[in-house]
Amino acid sequence: MNAVKKHYSGWSVLQEGLRGQTGWTKAWHDRDPAPRYDVVIIGGGGHGLATAYYLARTHGITRVAVIEKGWIGGGNTGRNTTIIRSNYFYPESAALYDLSVSLYEGLSRALNYNIMFSQRGMIEVAHSEAELEMMCRAANAMRINGVDIEIIDRDEVLRLAPLLAADLNVRWPVLGGQIQRRAGVARHDAVAWGYARAADSLGVHIIQNCEVIGVAIERGRVTAIETSRGRIVADRFGMAVAGHSSVLAGMAGFALPLQSYTLQAMVSEPVKPCLDVVVASSSHGAYVSQSDKGELVMGGNLDRCPSYAQRGNFPVTQSVVASLIEMFPAFASLKLMRQWGGIVDTSPDNSPILGPSPMEGLYLNCGWGTGGFKAIPAGGTLFAHILATGRHHPISAPFDLTRFDSGATIDEGHAGVAH
Protein backbone atom coordinates (compact mmCIF):
# COMPACT_ATOMS: atom_id res chain seq x y z
CA MET A 1 0.00 0.00 0.00
CA ASN A 2 1.17 3.51 -0.72
CA ALA A 3 2.30 5.79 2.05
CA VAL A 4 -0.83 7.29 3.50
CA LYS A 5 0.25 10.72 4.60
CA LYS A 6 -0.28 13.24 1.84
CA HIS A 7 -0.79 16.85 2.76
CA TYR A 8 -4.06 18.21 1.42
CA SER A 9 -3.89 21.73 0.02
CA GLY A 10 -4.84 23.85 -2.94
CA TRP A 11 -1.41 23.06 -4.30
CA SER A 12 -1.92 19.29 -4.05
CA VAL A 13 -5.27 19.60 -5.83
CA LEU A 14 -3.60 21.57 -8.63
CA GLN A 15 -0.68 19.15 -8.83
CA GLU A 16 -2.97 16.14 -9.02
CA GLY A 17 -5.11 17.89 -11.62
CA LEU A 18 -2.04 18.18 -13.83
CA ARG A 19 -1.09 14.55 -13.11
CA GLY A 20 -4.50 13.12 -13.98
CA GLN A 21 -5.39 12.43 -10.30
CA THR A 22 -3.01 9.47 -10.18
CA GLY A 23 -1.09 10.40 -7.03
CA TRP A 24 -3.83 10.29 -4.40
CA THR A 25 -3.34 7.65 -1.73
CA LYS A 26 -5.80 6.09 0.68
CA ALA A 27 -6.63 8.37 3.57
CA TRP A 28 -6.18 5.63 6.18
CA HIS A 29 -5.14 1.97 6.38
CA ASP A 30 -7.62 -0.84 6.72
CA ARG A 31 -5.95 -2.77 9.56
CA ASP A 32 -6.33 -6.26 10.92
CA PRO A 33 -6.60 -6.40 14.70
CA ALA A 34 -3.40 -7.00 16.67
CA PRO A 35 -3.75 -9.24 19.72
CA ARG A 36 -2.85 -6.48 22.16
CA TYR A 37 -3.13 -2.69 22.53
CA ASP A 38 -2.68 -0.09 25.26
CA VAL A 39 -6.15 1.29 24.62
CA VAL A 40 -9.01 -0.12 22.57
CA ILE A 41 -11.89 2.16 21.66
CA ILE A 42 -15.12 0.42 20.78
CA GLY A 43 -17.09 2.40 18.24
CA GLY A 44 -15.72 4.06 15.11
CA GLY A 45 -18.00 7.07 15.07
CA GLY A 46 -16.92 10.65 15.58
CA HIS A 47 -16.38 10.29 19.34
CA GLY A 48 -14.35 7.08 19.02
CA LEU A 49 -12.15 8.36 16.21
CA ALA A 50 -11.63 11.73 17.90
CA THR A 51 -10.68 9.98 21.13
CA ALA A 52 -8.09 7.91 19.31
CA TYR A 53 -6.67 11.01 17.62
CA TYR A 54 -6.31 12.96 20.88
CA LEU A 55 -4.84 9.90 22.67
CA ALA A 56 -2.10 9.86 20.06
CA ARG A 57 -1.69 13.59 19.52
CA THR A 58 -2.08 14.99 23.04
CA HIS A 59 -1.04 12.06 25.22
CA GLY A 60 1.45 10.24 22.96
CA ILE A 61 -0.40 6.93 23.31
CA THR A 62 -0.29 5.37 19.86
CA ARG A 63 -0.81 1.64 20.54
CA VAL A 64 -4.50 2.30 20.09
CA ALA A 65 -7.21 0.56 18.10
CA VAL A 66 -10.62 1.83 17.12
CA ILE A 67 -12.90 -1.09 16.38
CA GLU A 68 -16.12 -0.60 14.47
CA LYS A 69 -18.78 -3.20 13.73
CA GLY A 70 -19.72 -1.61 10.40
CA TRP A 71 -17.88 1.15 8.63
CA ILE A 72 -16.51 4.26 10.33
CA GLY A 73 -18.93 7.14 10.62
CA GLY A 74 -21.81 4.90 9.51
CA GLY A 75 -23.92 5.33 12.62
CA ASN A 76 -25.17 8.58 14.09
CA THR A 77 -22.11 10.50 12.87
CA GLY A 78 -23.31 9.96 9.31
CA ARG A 79 -27.01 10.32 10.10
CA ASN A 80 -27.37 13.53 12.07
CA THR A 81 -28.33 16.98 10.83
CA THR A 82 -24.79 18.33 11.49
CA ILE A 83 -25.73 21.25 13.71
CA ILE A 84 -22.96 22.60 15.94
CA ARG A 85 -23.89 24.98 18.76
CA SER A 86 -23.30 25.54 22.47
CA ASN A 87 -26.44 27.32 23.66
CA TYR A 88 -26.88 25.29 26.83
CA PHE A 89 -28.19 26.50 30.15
CA TYR A 90 -25.93 25.14 32.89
CA PRO A 91 -22.29 26.18 33.37
CA GLU A 92 -21.14 22.54 33.20
CA SER A 93 -22.78 22.11 29.80
CA ALA A 94 -21.60 25.47 28.52
CA ALA A 95 -17.99 24.55 29.36
CA LEU A 96 -18.35 21.24 27.54
CA TYR A 97 -20.17 22.35 24.41
CA ASP A 98 -18.32 25.64 24.05
CA LEU A 99 -15.02 23.75 24.17
CA SER A 100 -16.44 21.71 21.33
CA VAL A 101 -17.46 24.70 19.21
CA SER A 102 -14.02 26.26 19.78
CA LEU A 103 -12.27 23.05 18.71
CA TYR A 104 -14.52 22.78 15.66
CA GLU A 105 -13.45 26.30 14.68
CA GLY A 106 -9.86 25.15 14.29
CA LEU A 107 -10.49 21.57 13.24
CA SER A 108 -10.04 21.76 9.46
CA ARG A 109 -6.55 23.17 10.03
CA ALA A 110 -5.69 20.84 12.91
CA LEU A 111 -6.65 17.74 10.92
CA ASN A 112 -5.59 19.05 7.49
CA TYR A 113 -9.05 17.99 6.34
CA ASN A 114 -11.79 20.36 5.31
CA ILE A 115 -14.76 19.66 7.56
CA MET A 116 -16.63 22.57 5.92
CA PHE A 117 -17.70 24.16 9.21
CA SER A 118 -20.03 26.94 8.15
CA GLN A 119 -20.74 29.29 11.07
CA ARG A 120 -23.92 30.62 9.56
CA GLY A 121 -25.65 31.12 12.90
CA MET A 122 -28.60 29.37 14.44
CA ILE A 123 -31.90 30.98 15.39
CA GLU A 124 -34.36 29.56 17.86
CA VAL A 125 -37.68 31.22 17.18
CA ALA A 126 -40.01 32.38 19.98
CA HIS A 127 -43.73 32.26 19.28
CA SER A 128 -45.29 33.74 22.41
CA GLU A 129 -44.50 36.40 24.99
CA ALA A 130 -44.01 33.70 27.59
CA GLU A 131 -41.60 31.79 25.38
CA LEU A 132 -39.67 34.98 24.64
CA GLU A 133 -39.34 35.69 28.37
CA MET A 134 -38.04 32.18 29.08
CA MET A 135 -35.67 32.58 26.15
CA CYS A 136 -34.32 35.81 27.66
CA ARG A 137 -33.78 34.01 30.96
CA ALA A 138 -31.89 31.22 29.22
CA ALA A 139 -29.90 33.69 27.12
CA ASN A 140 -28.84 35.62 30.22
CA ALA A 141 -27.60 32.41 31.82
CA MET A 142 -25.72 31.47 28.66
CA ARG A 143 -24.08 34.89 28.41
CA ILE A 144 -22.92 34.62 32.02
CA ASN A 145 -21.45 31.24 31.03
CA GLY A 146 -19.55 32.98 28.21
CA VAL A 147 -21.57 31.68 25.28
CA ASP A 148 -22.27 34.13 22.43
CA ILE A 149 -26.05 34.39 22.53
CA GLU A 150 -28.19 37.33 21.50
CA ILE A 151 -31.89 37.94 21.73
CA ILE A 152 -33.19 39.38 18.47
CA ASP A 153 -36.55 40.90 17.66
CA ARG A 154 -39.15 39.78 15.16
CA ASP A 155 -37.84 42.04 12.38
CA GLU A 156 -34.33 40.69 12.70
CA VAL A 157 -35.54 37.07 12.70
CA LEU A 158 -37.52 37.72 9.52
CA ARG A 159 -34.62 39.63 7.95
CA LEU A 160 -32.32 36.63 8.53
CA ALA A 161 -34.90 34.03 7.46
CA PRO A 162 -37.28 35.85 5.10
CA LEU A 163 -39.19 32.72 4.14
CA LEU A 164 -40.47 32.22 7.71
CA ALA A 165 -44.25 32.67 7.95
CA ALA A 166 -44.56 36.36 8.91
CA ASP A 167 -48.31 36.36 9.50
CA LEU A 168 -49.14 37.31 13.11
CA ASN A 169 -52.58 35.76 12.94
CA VAL A 170 -51.41 32.14 13.11
CA ARG A 171 -51.01 29.51 15.80
CA TRP A 172 -47.29 30.17 16.24
CA PRO A 173 -46.48 33.74 15.14
CA VAL A 174 -42.81 34.80 14.97
CA LEU A 175 -42.26 37.18 17.88
CA GLY A 176 -38.50 37.13 18.20
CA GLY A 177 -35.72 34.70 18.82
CA GLN A 178 -32.34 33.77 20.11
CA ILE A 179 -29.30 33.55 17.89
CA GLN A 180 -25.90 32.01 18.36
CA ARG A 181 -23.81 33.43 15.55
CA ARG A 182 -20.90 31.01 16.05
CA ALA A 183 -23.25 28.07 15.58
CA GLY A 184 -23.57 26.38 12.23
CA VAL A 185 -23.26 23.16 10.31
CA ALA A 186 -20.37 21.00 9.13
CA ARG A 187 -19.81 18.10 6.80
CA HIS A 188 -20.42 15.14 9.08
CA ASP A 189 -18.57 12.47 7.07
CA ALA A 190 -15.56 14.75 6.86
CA VAL A 191 -15.41 14.94 10.65
CA ALA A 192 -15.19 11.14 10.88
CA TRP A 193 -12.82 10.83 7.94
CA GLY A 194 -10.63 13.72 9.04
CA TYR A 195 -10.15 12.27 12.52
CA ALA A 196 -9.62 8.78 11.04
CA ARG A 197 -6.94 10.00 8.66
CA ALA A 198 -5.16 12.06 11.31
CA ALA A 199 -5.32 9.24 13.88
CA ASP A 200 -4.09 6.69 11.35
CA SER A 201 -1.13 8.84 10.44
CA LEU A 202 -0.15 8.87 14.12
CA GLY A 203 -0.18 5.06 14.25
CA VAL A 204 -3.71 4.30 15.44
CA HIS A 205 -5.27 1.12 14.01
CA ILE A 206 -8.72 1.60 12.49
CA ILE A 207 -10.43 -1.78 12.29
CA GLN A 208 -13.77 -1.97 10.50
CA ASN A 209 -16.25 -4.86 10.26
CA CYS A 210 -15.20 -5.93 13.75
CA GLU A 211 -18.06 -6.42 16.17
CA VAL A 212 -17.74 -6.99 19.90
CA ILE A 213 -19.45 -10.26 20.81
CA GLY A 214 -18.25 -10.69 24.37
CA VAL A 215 -16.40 -9.01 27.21
CA ALA A 216 -13.83 -10.92 29.30
CA ILE A 217 -13.87 -9.96 32.97
CA GLU A 218 -11.37 -11.11 35.57
CA ARG A 219 -11.89 -10.09 39.20
CA GLY A 220 -14.08 -7.10 38.31
CA ARG A 221 -11.76 -5.90 35.58
CA VAL A 222 -12.31 -5.94 31.84
CA THR A 223 -9.18 -7.56 30.43
CA ALA A 224 -10.14 -8.41 26.86
CA ILE A 225 -12.95 -8.34 24.37
CA GLU A 226 -14.08 -11.08 22.04
CA THR A 227 -14.78 -9.76 18.59
CA SER A 228 -15.96 -11.18 15.30
CA ARG A 229 -12.28 -10.95 14.29
CA GLY A 230 -10.75 -12.52 17.38
CA ARG A 231 -9.77 -11.72 20.95
CA ILE A 232 -8.21 -8.35 21.71
CA VAL A 233 -6.42 -7.60 24.97
CA ALA A 234 -5.85 -4.07 26.24
CA ASP A 235 -5.04 -2.17 29.42
CA ARG A 236 -8.02 0.10 29.01
CA PHE A 237 -11.19 -0.02 26.96
CA GLY A 238 -13.31 2.95 26.03
CA MET A 239 -16.82 2.57 24.71
CA ALA A 240 -18.32 5.16 22.38
CA VAL A 241 -21.20 3.25 20.85
CA ALA A 242 -24.12 5.66 21.28
CA GLY A 243 -27.46 3.87 20.89
CA HIS A 244 -25.92 0.46 21.59
CA SER A 245 -24.29 1.46 24.90
CA SER A 246 -26.78 -0.58 26.93
CA VAL A 247 -26.15 -3.65 24.78
CA LEU A 248 -22.39 -3.44 25.33
CA ALA A 249 -22.81 -2.63 29.03
CA GLY A 250 -25.06 -5.70 29.27
CA MET A 251 -22.19 -7.85 27.94
CA ALA A 252 -19.99 -6.41 30.69
CA GLY A 253 -22.68 -7.14 33.28
CA PHE A 254 -24.04 -3.75 34.23
CA ALA A 255 -26.95 -1.47 33.30
CA LEU A 256 -26.86 2.18 32.34
CA PRO A 257 -29.39 4.98 32.86
CA LEU A 258 -30.08 5.11 29.15
CA GLN A 259 -32.99 4.55 26.83
CA SER A 260 -32.40 4.13 23.10
CA TYR A 261 -34.70 5.97 20.74
CA THR A 262 -34.79 6.60 17.03
CA LEU A 263 -34.11 10.16 15.98
CA GLN A 264 -35.17 10.86 12.42
CA ALA A 265 -33.86 13.25 9.86
CA MET A 266 -34.93 13.92 6.32
CA VAL A 267 -34.07 16.02 3.31
CA SER A 268 -36.07 17.66 0.58
CA GLU A 269 -35.11 17.73 -3.06
CA PRO A 270 -32.29 20.22 -3.68
CA VAL A 271 -33.20 23.80 -4.52
CA LYS A 272 -31.28 27.04 -5.04
CA PRO A 273 -29.98 28.84 -1.91
CA CYS A 274 -32.96 30.10 0.09
CA LEU A 275 -31.97 29.71 3.76
CA ASP A 276 -28.55 30.69 5.09
CA VAL A 277 -29.11 30.19 8.81
CA VAL A 278 -30.18 27.22 10.89
CA VAL A 279 -33.73 27.74 12.18
CA ALA A 280 -35.25 25.80 15.05
CA SER A 281 -38.57 26.07 16.83
CA SER A 282 -39.46 24.24 20.03
CA SER A 283 -43.14 25.07 19.66
CA HIS A 284 -43.27 23.56 16.21
CA GLY A 285 -40.85 20.80 17.18
CA ALA A 286 -38.72 21.07 14.07
CA TYR A 287 -35.48 22.54 12.79
CA VAL A 288 -34.05 23.08 9.33
CA SER A 289 -30.96 24.16 7.48
CA GLN A 290 -29.99 24.09 3.83
CA SER A 291 -27.09 21.91 2.77
CA ASP A 292 -24.42 22.94 0.29
CA LYS A 293 -26.14 20.69 -2.23
CA GLY A 294 -29.34 22.69 -1.76
CA GLU A 295 -31.40 20.11 0.12
CA LEU A 296 -33.34 21.28 3.14
CA VAL A 297 -32.12 19.15 6.02
CA MET A 298 -34.75 18.80 8.70
CA GLY A 299 -35.51 17.00 11.89
CA GLY A 300 -37.67 17.14 14.95
CA ASN A 301 -38.28 15.34 18.19
CA LEU A 302 -37.47 11.78 19.15
CA ASP A 303 -39.70 8.97 18.05
CA ARG A 304 -42.52 8.04 20.38
CA CYS A 305 -41.07 4.95 22.02
CA PRO A 306 -37.75 3.15 22.51
CA SER A 307 -36.34 1.60 19.37
CA TYR A 308 -33.25 0.03 17.87
CA ALA A 309 -34.63 0.25 14.32
CA GLN A 310 -32.60 2.72 12.29
CA ARG A 311 -35.57 4.00 10.34
CA GLY A 312 -38.14 5.85 12.44
CA ASN A 313 -41.90 5.66 12.57
CA PHE A 314 -44.33 7.51 10.39
CA PRO A 315 -46.23 9.75 12.86
CA VAL A 316 -43.01 11.64 13.66
CA THR A 317 -42.02 11.99 10.00
CA GLN A 318 -45.45 13.45 9.38
CA SER A 319 -45.25 15.88 12.31
CA VAL A 320 -41.78 17.15 11.29
CA VAL A 321 -42.92 17.83 7.74
CA ALA A 322 -46.16 19.44 8.93
CA SER A 323 -44.24 21.68 11.34
CA LEU A 324 -41.74 22.68 8.70
CA ILE A 325 -44.49 23.70 6.29
CA GLU A 326 -46.18 25.72 8.98
CA MET A 327 -42.89 27.50 9.69
CA PHE A 328 -41.97 27.93 6.02
CA PRO A 329 -45.13 27.79 3.87
CA ALA A 330 -43.05 28.06 0.67
CA PHE A 331 -41.46 24.67 1.38
CA ALA A 332 -44.83 22.95 0.93
CA SER A 333 -44.16 22.67 -2.78
CA LEU A 334 -40.94 20.68 -2.27
CA LYS A 335 -40.75 16.91 -2.44
CA LEU A 336 -39.36 14.94 0.45
CA MET A 337 -36.40 13.09 -1.01
CA ARG A 338 -34.96 10.88 1.73
CA GLN A 339 -35.75 10.00 5.33
CA TRP A 340 -33.67 7.97 7.78
CA GLY A 341 -33.10 7.34 11.48
CA GLY A 342 -30.29 6.85 13.95
CA ILE A 343 -30.39 5.25 17.39
CA VAL A 344 -29.62 7.74 20.12
CA ASP A 345 -28.90 6.99 23.77
CA THR A 346 -30.93 9.39 25.88
CA SER A 347 -30.05 9.91 29.53
CA PRO A 348 -32.47 11.00 32.26
CA ASP A 349 -31.04 14.54 32.40
CA ASN A 350 -30.26 14.88 28.70
CA SER A 351 -26.57 15.22 29.48
CA PRO A 352 -23.81 12.82 28.46
CA ILE A 353 -22.04 10.29 30.65
CA LEU A 354 -18.23 10.40 30.66
CA GLY A 355 -15.82 8.56 32.94
CA PRO A 356 -15.27 5.19 34.58
CA SER A 357 -17.86 2.43 34.30
CA PRO A 358 -18.75 0.07 37.16
CA MET A 359 -16.15 -2.32 35.67
CA GLU A 360 -12.50 -1.48 36.12
CA GLY A 361 -10.66 -0.97 32.86
CA LEU A 362 -13.81 0.02 30.96
CA TYR A 363 -14.70 3.68 30.46
CA LEU A 364 -17.89 5.35 29.24
CA ASN A 365 -18.57 7.92 26.57
CA CYS A 366 -22.33 7.75 26.07
CA GLY A 367 -25.65 9.41 26.78
CA TRP A 368 -25.18 12.18 24.21
CA GLY A 369 -28.73 11.53 23.12
CA THR A 370 -29.75 13.70 20.22
CA GLY A 371 -26.73 16.02 20.38
CA GLY A 372 -23.58 13.97 20.02
CA PHE A 373 -22.29 15.34 16.73
CA LYS A 374 -21.78 18.86 18.01
CA ALA A 375 -19.74 17.48 20.90
CA ILE A 376 -17.31 15.27 18.98
CA PRO A 377 -14.09 17.29 19.43
CA ALA A 378 -14.79 17.90 23.13
CA GLY A 379 -15.96 14.33 23.74
CA GLY A 380 -12.78 13.06 22.09
CA THR A 381 -10.53 15.44 24.01
CA LEU A 382 -12.07 14.62 27.39
CA PHE A 383 -12.38 10.88 26.79
CA ALA A 384 -8.75 10.71 25.67
CA HIS A 385 -7.76 12.49 28.89
CA ILE A 386 -9.78 10.00 30.95
CA LEU A 387 -8.35 6.97 29.12
CA ALA A 388 -4.77 8.28 29.25
CA THR A 389 -4.72 9.33 32.89
CA GLY A 390 -7.45 7.22 34.45
CA ARG A 391 -8.81 10.45 35.95
CA HIS A 392 -11.41 13.01 35.03
CA HIS A 393 -10.68 16.27 33.27
CA PRO A 394 -12.25 19.19 35.20
CA ILE A 395 -14.78 19.66 32.38
CA SER A 396 -15.80 15.99 32.30
CA ALA A 397 -16.01 15.46 36.08
CA PRO A 398 -19.63 16.68 36.48
CA PHE A 399 -20.72 14.18 33.83
CA ASP A 400 -19.63 11.10 35.78
CA LEU A 401 -22.07 8.18 36.03
CA THR A 402 -22.27 8.59 39.81
CA ARG A 403 -24.28 11.80 39.41
CA PHE A 404 -27.40 9.66 39.22
CA ASP A 405 -26.66 8.21 42.69
CA SER A 406 -25.84 11.57 44.25
CA GLY A 407 -28.64 13.46 42.53
CA ALA A 408 -26.26 16.05 41.04
CA THR A 409 -27.80 15.76 37.59
CA ILE A 410 -27.41 18.41 34.89
CA ASP A 411 -30.90 18.72 33.51
CA GLU A 412 -30.70 20.07 29.98
CA GLY A 413 -34.14 18.77 29.09
CA HIS A 414 -35.13 22.17 27.79
CA ALA A 415 -32.04 22.62 25.60
CA GLY A 416 -34.05 22.97 22.45
CA VAL A 417 -35.62 20.56 20.01
CA ALA A 418 -33.69 17.37 19.48
CA HIS A 419 -30.42 18.67 18.12
Interface positions with other proteins (CB under 8 A) = 244, 246-247, 250, 255-260, 304-309, 313-315, 348, 404-407
CB of 340 to other proteins, least distance (A): 16
In 3D space, the residue among 58, 83, 82 whose CA is nearest the CA of residue 381 turns out to be 58
Residue pair 40/16 in contact (Cβ under 8 Å)? The answer is: no
Least separation, in Å, of the C-beta of 350 and other proteins? 12
Give the residue with the Cβ less far from other proteins, 186 or 258: 258
Cα–Cα distance, 213 to 231 (Å, whole number): 10
Q: Which is nearer to other proteins, 21 or 406 (CB)?
A: 406
Alpha carbons 380 and 387: distance in angstroms, whole number? 10
Q: How far is the CB of 30 from other proteins (least distance, A)?
A: 28
Number of Cα atoms under 13 Å in the Cβ half of residue 22: 3
The enclosing H or E element of 155 equals helix 154-160
Q: Which is nearer to other proteins, 140 or 402 (CB)?
A: 402
Closer residue to other proteins (CB): 24 or 314: 314
CB of 255 to other proteins, least distance (A): 4
Residues in CB range of 365: below 8 A, 6 or more apart? 47, 48, 51, 238, 239, 240, 352, 353, 354, 379, 383
| Cβ 80 vs Cβ 265: under 8 Å | yes
Which CB atom, from 270 or from 306, has the smaller least distance to other proteins? Answer: 306
Q: Which of 359, 362, 358, 364 is nearest to 345 (CA)?
A: 364
Choice between 39 and 248, CB closer to other proteins:
248
- Cβ closer to other proteins: 245 or 381? 245
Nearer to other proteins, 52 or 401 (CB): 401
Q: Minimum Å distance from CB 315 to other proteins?
A: 5
From CA 34, how far away is CA 419, in angstroms rounded?
Answer: 37
415 neighbors 88 (Cβ within 8 angstroms): yes
Nearest alpha-carbon partner for 153 in 136, 171, 175, 181: 175
User: CA nearest 239: which of 335, 115, 368?
Assistant: 368
**Least distance to other proteins from the beta carbon of 253, Å?**
13
Q: Which of these, 376, 3, 385, 29, lies nearest to 200 by C-alpha position?
A: 29
Q: Supply the minimum distance, in Å, between the C-beta of residue 406 and other proteins.
A: 7
Rounded to a whole number of angstroms, the minimum distance from the CB of residue 22 to other proteins is 45
Residue 294 or 358 having the CB closest to other proteins: 358
Please report how close the Cβ of residue 57 comes to other proteins at its closest, in angstroms: 34
Q: 336: how many CB neighbours lie within 10 A of its CB?
A: 15
CA-based nearest residue to 342, from 269, 263, 233: 263
- Alpha-carbon radius of gyration of the chain: 22
